[in-house]
Amino acid sequence: MKKVVEVLANREQLIDRSLEIVLSKISEAIAERGLCTIAAAGGSTPEPLYRAIAAQDLPWDKIHVFWGDERYVPPEHPDSNQKMARLAWLDRVNIPASNIHPMPTDAGDPAADAAAHQAELQQFFKVSEGEFPAFDIILLGIGDDAHTASLFPGTAALEVRDALVTVGNKDGQPRITFTVPLINQARCVIFMVAGASKQPALAQIFAPAADEMTYPARFVQPKGELWWLLDSAAGAAVK
């Protein structure tokens, strides 16, 4: 694993640097494999990145967009990660509808929807049961509790090692989420973290030793590149 930690002066520079890396990885993936697979993150931090990506002239027919996790709400719900990415990015570009792969949330059964999305990933990446595909780019953030995707402290989802997708749990509310081994198969994982409120979590994530079940982002150790992009407020924890 190649690990890079960069502390940027402010959120604007954080977005600019994130865009630079994402565009580089998109270009690299298309040159090497003919397409790029990217998993989007939710939350407020990446939204301006998505708007910046939408402003680029990219070969949209060669880019496939997924999500690393999703709240178990309809796609038109204000809390939907899919809705945020569509409004900021996907509705603004000429990307084929078939290149957008949202996590389903309409079966009334989170486990069934997680299984359905896993089947879609297996079919798209042409992997067999027990194999984990390699996303070109997975975008992640962290919460103040050091969770990432919908992998929350002390929850069963953290221990799933035999699936690509599972059900996460946030205070009794179900989520759909990538599993630790799927995230760790990625060619490039990019954490975008902003704000002083993230300092305590980052201090534990970067500590020489700490409990991964308590600080889940510590589990993320991809086979490819791991980028930690922090604004100065968050980055004070790791200087």
pLDDT at 99: 98
Q: Which is it for the CA torsion 51, 92, 63, 26, positive or negative? A: negative
pLDDT in tens, 62-87: 999 999 999 999 999 999 999 999 99
pLDDT tens for 120-143 read 999 999 999 999 999 999 999 999
Contact of 151 with 216, CB cutoff 8 Å: yes
What pLDDT shows up at residue 6?
Answer: 98
Average pLDDT over residues 153-172: 97
pLDDT at 218: 98
Mean pLDDT throughout 103-113?
97
H/E element holding 63?
strand 63-67
What's the average model confidence in pLDDT over 34-53? 97
Note the pLDDT tens digit of each residue in 191-222. 999 999 999 999 999 999 999 999 999 999 99
> Is the full-model pTM beyond 0.95?
yes
pLDDT of 234 > 80? The answer is yes
Going from the C-alpha of 79 to that of each of 46, 82, 84, 108, the distances in angstroms are 15, 9, 8, 17
Q: What's the mean pLDDT in 40-65?
A: 97
189 — pLDDT class (breaks 50, 70, 90): very high
Percent of the chain at pLDDT > 90 equals 99
Is 191 strand, coil or helix?
Answer: strand
Contacts by residues 24-32 (CB-CB < 8 Å, ≥ 24 positions apart): 25/136, 25/137, 25/187, 25/188, 26/58, 26/63, 26/136, 26/137, 28/136, 29/136, 29/137, 29/187, 30/59, 30/62, 30/63
Residue 48: closest CA among 188, 189, 180, 229: 229
Answer yes or no: is pLDDT of 239 > 80: no
Give 2's pLDDT tier (boundaries 50, 70, 90). Answer: very high
